[in-house]
């Protein structure tokens, strides 16, 4: 049972466009959602995160939009750059549970 | 600089052989994790630990053992390696606090032939 789903599996955008990566979850007890960025040959690294008490979190060109009622969130990357080409993982956890459940990832390619 | 270091980076093993993947962290984190990454599955949790001497089963523990002899070190052991265990393995460490984020190592690419 996949508790965290991501879509699309892969996404290609032109430089300067906004990339939108989607994530949904099933467990209503999840209340913390980090996004990890992974470049080829490297381990994932934390990019940005949001708690369920918020509906938006912004960090530079990266913004998370969160809809608790629909159990959905999305990562928006504005003014996409070729250096943003990577795989992005959505993860989820609940308070006191130090194990994250990861989605299968979205592979983003930004074309110059 | 705090870090998670995995060894080896690449490993070729024969079916039925024993494989040990090592992980060392200098973050002073209580929690450590072993994941495997496969196309289409993302990151799946194999074993984790809350501190020295403790190991817990994750979501896919079959065929794997783990050992946490100290705060800094966490090993993943494949007693009888099989080709289905060919994958990229990531170790991570995290603090014991709520909303603690992970620091991942660079991964070990394992090929079982």
Sheet strands (E) in chain B:
4-7, 10-13, 19-25, 31-38, 42-49, 56-57, 65-67, 73-78, 87-94, 102-104, 108-112
What is the Cβ-side half-sphere exposure of residue A23, based on CA atoms within 13 angstroms? Answer: 32
Q: Which residues of B touch A45 (CB under 8 A)?
A: 104
Q: Could you give the CA distance from residue A3 to residue A25 in angstroms, rounded to a whole number?
A: 6
Q: In this structure, how many other beta carbons lie within 10 angstroms of the beta carbon of residue B70?
A: 10
Q: Which residues of A touch B48 (CB under 8 A)?
A: 98-99
Interface A:B, Cβ pairs < 8 A: 52
Mutate to test the interface with B, among A33, A43, A99 (most CBs of B within 10 A): A43
**Degrees to nearest 5, angle at CA B25 with A83 and B65:** 105
Q: Chain-centre distance of CA B87, in angstroms?
A: 12
**Cross-chain residue pair A34–B101, CB shorter than 8 Å:** yes
**Which residues neighbour A8 within 8 Å (Cβ) at sequence distance 6 or greater?**
A21, A22, A106
More confident residue, A97 or B47: B47
Given a cut of 90, whether residue B32 has pLDDT beyond it is: yes
Collapsed DSSP state (helix, strand, coil) of residue A81: coil
CA of B109 to nearest chain A CA: how many angstroms apart? 10
Query: A10-66, pLDDT tens digit by residue?
Result: 999 999 999 999 999 999 989 999 999 999 999 999 999 999 999 999 999 999 999
pLDDT, position B100: 72
**Which residues neighbour B109 within 8 Å (Cβ) at sequence distance 6 or greater?**
B9, B10, B11, B88
Cβ burial, residue B66 (10 Å; 0-12/13-18/19+): buried
Q: Could you give the CA distance from residue B37 to residue B89 in angstroms, rounded to a whole number?
A: 6
**Cross-chain residue pair B106–A43, CB shorter than 8 Å:** yes
Given a cut of 60, whether residue A1 has pLDDT beyond it is: no
Tell me whether A42 touches chain B (CB under 8 Å): yes
Q: Which residues of A touch B90 (CB under 8 A)?
A: 43-44
Q: Which residues of A touch B100 (CB under 8 A)?
A: 98
Which residue does chain B place closest to A50, by CA atoms?
Answer: B99
Query: B60-70, pLDDT tens digit by residue?
Result: 999 999 999 99
pLDDT, position B60: 95
The strand pairing partners of A58, in sequence order, are: A63
Given a cut of 90, whether residue B2 has pLDDT beyond it is: no
Q: What mean pLDDT comes out for the span B36-54? A: 92
Q: Which residues of A touch B45 (CB under 8 A)?
A: 99
Q: Could you give the CA distance from residue A64 to residue A88 in angstroms, rounded to a whole number?
A: 13
pLDDT, position B40: 79
């Amino acid at each position: 049972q996949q508790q965290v789903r991501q879509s699309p599996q892969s996404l290609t955008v032109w430089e300067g466009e906004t990339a939108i990566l989607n994530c949904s979850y099933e467990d209503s007890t999840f209340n913390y959602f980090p996004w990890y960025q992974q470049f080829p040959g490297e381990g994932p690294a934390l990019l940005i995160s949001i708690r369920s008490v918020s509906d938006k979190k912004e960090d530079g060109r990266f913004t998370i939009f969160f809809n608790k009622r629909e159990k959905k969130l999305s990562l928006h990357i504005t003014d996409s750059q070729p250096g943003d080409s990577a795989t992005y993982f959505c993860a989820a956890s609940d308070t006191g549970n130090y194990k994250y459940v990861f989605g299968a990832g979205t592979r983003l390619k930004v074309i110059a | 600089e705090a870090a998670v270091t995995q060894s080896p980076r690449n490993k070729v093993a024969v079916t039925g052989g024993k494989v040990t993947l090592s992980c060392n962290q200098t973050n002073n984190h209580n929690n450590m994790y072993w994941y495997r990454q496969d196309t289409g599955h993302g990151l799946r949790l194999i074993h984790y630990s809350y501190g020295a001497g403790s190991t817990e089963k994750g979501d896919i523990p079959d065929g794997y053992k783990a050992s946490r002899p100290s705060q800094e070190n966490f090993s993943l052991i494949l007693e009888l390696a099989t080709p289905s265990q060919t994958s990229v393995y990531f170790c991570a460490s995290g603090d014991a606090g709520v909303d603690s984020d992970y620091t991942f190592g660079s991964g070990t690419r394992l090929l079982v032939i």
